[in-house]
Structure 1
Amino acid sequence: MASRKVGVLTFHRSINYGSYWQARCLVEGLRARGLDAEILDHRSRRVEWREARNAFQPTLPVRTAPRHFAALGRKTRALIAAVDALPLSPPFPLEDAARSPRYDAVVIGSDEVWNFRHPWYSGASIFFGEGLNADRLVSYAASFGNHDAADGIDPHWLERLRRFHALSVRDENSRAMLAPLSSDRLSFARAERSRGTSLGQAAPGPSLELAGNGREDSGIPLVLDPCLQFPQVIPDAAARSDTRYAVVYGHSFPDWFTAQLRRWADATGTRLVTIGYPNPIADDERIDATPADFSTLIAGATAVATNFFHGCVFAIRHARPFVCAASPYRRNKVQDLTRALGLGDHLVEDGTSDAAFAHLLAALPTDLPARLAAERTASSRFLDHALA
């Protein structure tokens, strides 16, 4: 029997290590499950221009110094080459989903694909399933990003999401946005259970595939980021170093955070290595790191200091202690991830003592592997149902 053909729809061409790795982990993770999976290679000159501008000026309105452009250019070319090596569909216009290939199912997500505040992907109907050639629409670890649930969602978009066969998200804010759908679908799912009908064999029309993590009755399931769900895709290899170093990943850190990190580094004899972005606090720069370098540098680090979601994710993947100064833009992403894994105190704030800061950079909780295993089991159960 031929494998089912599955498309992965995400922000795979963003000039960002996290975007690359979560797209790769999801598509390779699905292929390891026996599916014929590939990434839908949507293209847009408008988006590519905005991505390129952001790659060289990531901290606007604060401008990046021209001396960093060469390294940022090498980073950009490395990410483009890495994406081009992934299993991709034939390219098609972002604005014309009808020209995409035919799939048994399309899995949308592993990024803030529904963020109405995204500066260049906002409102792109393809991410709501519009025009796709698929028998089944599924979301996996999708997010509304920093579009707060209190601001609501237009019924126009909600109706499009109602057509999905199965929905899952990666944060509570996104789950709250989908509350009207979860109420409808939970009622349907409970009715099917009462009749003894498997969700995988439900009557035609969308039905809720639940993650089975003890939170079934709370609505749309929360699932793990693909980098943690399919950790085998990411090599364990660590960078070799003759000196103790910590990775700094992110930009626009608050002054209190960089001052505290500098005190910790000086007190512990740790060099600070910035990856992907210039950071004045750093002792060494790897602005031009490839996606593989990004992973190996974190794997070999003593600790990680970040304000990015995937800074946290890769620290967890490689079992590296970390601290995160969550910005308002990324707080929805990181707070639920860390809470679910018992790592909430690793989100530090102004006023965290130096002793507590140092303690968090010394070790991770001993129960983290068990928590990760439980979340992986729950997320696998969702995928089993959604792609049955």
Structure 2
Amino acid sequence: MTGRIALLTFHRRVDYGSYWQTRCLLAGLARRGHAAVVADHASDHVRRAELACALAPLGDGPAARADVPDKVARIRAFRRAVAELPLSKRFDIARPETMEPADLALFGGDEIWNPHHPWYGGAPLFFGGGVPARRYVAYAAGAGGHDATLGFDADRSARLGAFADVSVRDDNTRRLCRDATGREPEIVLDPCLQFPPPHEAPDAEGPPCIVVYGHGFPRWFADAVVAFARRRALPIVGVGHRSAVADEQRLAAGPEEFRRLMASAAAVVTNVFHGCVFALAFGRPFVAAASPARRDDLRDLVALVGAQHHVVDETRAATVDTVLSAPADAVVRRRIEALRARSDAFLDRVLG
């Protein structure tokens, strides 16, 4: 058996994807008989930066006074949810050597290897620096918006070279790791798609609605979504971010409310990676407008599962209606099942 497993990720981010990929991976490991803990790193600088971002996230502009109570409620909902996770003894992010020792340090998350992340990017911890573990392994690690053409510096490359095994969640991160280490990492599914969250009946969150998750949508895209919603007499619910097209805002939604909304949505509209992941995991129709800041991970995901037609640009605005009318087809579902088998095989190999 592997022994004590410590999961290193951005588990305290006020972000649905960060929370759920942590929780889903823990659940997947538990089903395999492995009781992992989350390495509970802490930093006053990170805490302040995270709070500032949660109160006025990118794309919202200055926090509207009327929205502040809902945003505070969301922060508290995340804190309660994180407190329910199996956490290690808390330690200073700048002193990884004080972390509780582990037999296996398992690294993962959508931006864990982004050296330019505004508050986590400088921490050696996420590349294994000083982590007291016998083996380092990565499952579904990502480099966020750090383009493969920029590479990693010599120190980060050397640290990744010390990993026993590496798997990534997108082609951009694959190229980064290959160039840094000379080894070809395997591409696996994000934990939320590999080990989907619980899925209640479609009406668990009330009447059907279109869920909008993301921000900064172009006008042509927003207009097409609103036209579809009006033709189908479906309300539009914005979750997490204030949406100009939404009939109802769910700014206070915590991780569980987000999950229920996504699971019961008549359709999902997004421009973020985990918006697509949750729609695929729950078999919901979805359409995405690719954002330049997320061009790699979102497009890599849909290419990986064969769902490229769900990402539209202005030249394909007329297809929004068709794409939102049906979930991913059988070809996509078969591709996901094949990728689940491949991801399981990777975990079998590294966990023993």
TM norm. shorter chain > 0.5 = yes
Name the structure 2 match of 1:215: none
Name the structure 1 match of 2:322: 359
Query: In the alignment, is the contact (CA less than 8 A) between 2:151 and 2:179 conserved in 1?
Result: no
Instruction: State the 1:36 CA deviation.
Output: 2.3
Name the structure 2 match of 1:55: 54
Per-residue CA deviations over 1:214-269 (Å, capped at 9, x if unaligned) read: xxxxx2110000011112x4333445466441100112222221111111111221
Deviates more, 1:81-90 or 1:290-299: 290-299
Match status 1:229 vs 2:194:
yes
Distance 1:386 1:3 in 2: 8
What SS does the corresponding residue of 1:330 show, helix, strand or coil? helix
Name the structure 2 match of 1:80: 79
Instruction: State the 1:10 CA deviation.
Output: 0.2
Instruction: State the 1:181 CA deviation.
Output: 5.2
Alignment of 1:1-388 (within 5 A): 4-59=3-58, 62-180=61-179, 183=182, 185=183, 219-231=184-196, 233-240=197-204, 243-354=207-318, 356-363=319-326, 364-388=328-352
Query: In the alignment, is the contact (CA less than 8 A) between 2:199 and 2:282 conserved in 1?
Result: no
Query: In the alignment, is the contact (CA less than 8 A) between 2:59 and 2:216 conserved in 1?
Result: no
Query: In the alignment, is the contact (CA less than 8 A) between 1:247 and 1:304 conserved in 2?
Result: yes
Deviates more, 1:14-23 or 1:331-340: 331-340
Query: In the alignment, is the contact (CA less than 8 A) between 1:249 and 1:306 conserved in 2?
Result: yes
The 1:373/1:60 distance shift into structure 2, 3 A limit, reads closer
The 1:60/1:344 distance shift into structure 2, 3 A limit, reads closer
Question: Once the two structures are aligned, what percentage of the paired residues are identical?
Answer: 40
Structure 1 counterpart of 2:117, one-letter code = H
Deviates more, 1:27-36 or 1:317-326: 27-36
Structure 1 counterpart of 2:336, one-letter code = L
Distance 2:13 2:206 in 1: 33
Query: In the alignment, is the contact (CA less than 8 A) between 1:146 and 1:328 conserved in 2?
Result: no
The 1:15/1:61 distance shift into structure 2, 3 A limit, reads closer
Structure 1 counterpart of 2:139, one-letter code = Y
| RMSD between superposed Cα atoms in Å | 1.6
Distance 1:353 1:125 in 2: 43
Instruction: State the 1:375 CA deviation.
Output: 0.4
Query: In the alignment, is the contact (CA less than 8 A) between 2:113 and 2:121 conserved in 1?
Result: yes
Structure 2 counterpart of 1:114, one-letter code = W
The 1:44/1:238 distance shift into structure 2, 3 A limit, reads farther
What SS does the corresponding residue of 2:146 show, helix, strand or coil? coil
Query: In the alignment, is the contact (CA less than 8 A) between 1:143 and 1:171 conserved in 2?
Result: yes
Per-residue CA deviations over 1:297-330 (Å, capped at 9, x if unaligned) read: 1111110001111111111111001011121221
Q: Which structure 1 residue ranges, 5 or more long, are not aligned?
A: 186-218
Query: In the alignment, is the contact (CA less than 8 A) between 1:8 and 1:38 conserved in 2?
Result: yes
Instruction: State the 1:348 CA deviation.
Output: 1.1
Instruction: State the 1:3 CA deviation.
Output: 6.7
Distance 1:298 1:271 in 2: 14
Query: In the alignment, is the contact (CA less than 8 A) between 1:115 and 1:143 conserved in 2?
Result: yes
Q: How many residue pairs end up in the alignment?
A: 351
Structure 2 counterpart of 1:149, one-letter code = A
Per-residue CA deviations over 1:156-179 (Å, capped at 9, x if unaligned) read: 110010000001111111111122
Q: Which structure 2 residue ranges, 5 or more long, are not aligned?
A: none
Query: In the alignment, is the contact (CA less than 8 A) between 1:237 and 1:296 conserved in 2?
Result: no
Instruction: State the 1:378 CA deviation.
Output: 0.3
Distance 2:313 2:294 in 1: 14
Structure 1 counterpart of 2:188, one-letter code = V
Structure 1 counterpart of 2:308, one-letter code = G
Deviates more, 1:61-70 or 1:267-276: 61-70
Instruction: State the 1:71 CA deviation.
Output: 0.8
Query: In the alignment, is the contact (CA less than 8 A) between 1:78 and 1:290 conserved in 2?
Result: yes
Query: In the alignment, is the contact (CA less than 8 A) between 1:238 and 1:297 conserved in 2?
Result: no
Query: In the alignment, is the contact (CA less than 8 A) between 2:2 and 2:104 conserved in 1?
Result: no
Query: In the alignment, is the contact (CA less than 8 A) between 1:251 and 1:307 conserved in 2?
Result: yes
Distance 2:157 2:34 in 1: 29
Per-residue CA deviations over 1:49-89 (Å, capped at 9, x if unaligned) read: 00000001013582231111111111110011101100100
What SS does the corresponding residue of 1:107 show, helix, strand or coil? strand
TM-score, scaled to structure 1: 0.87
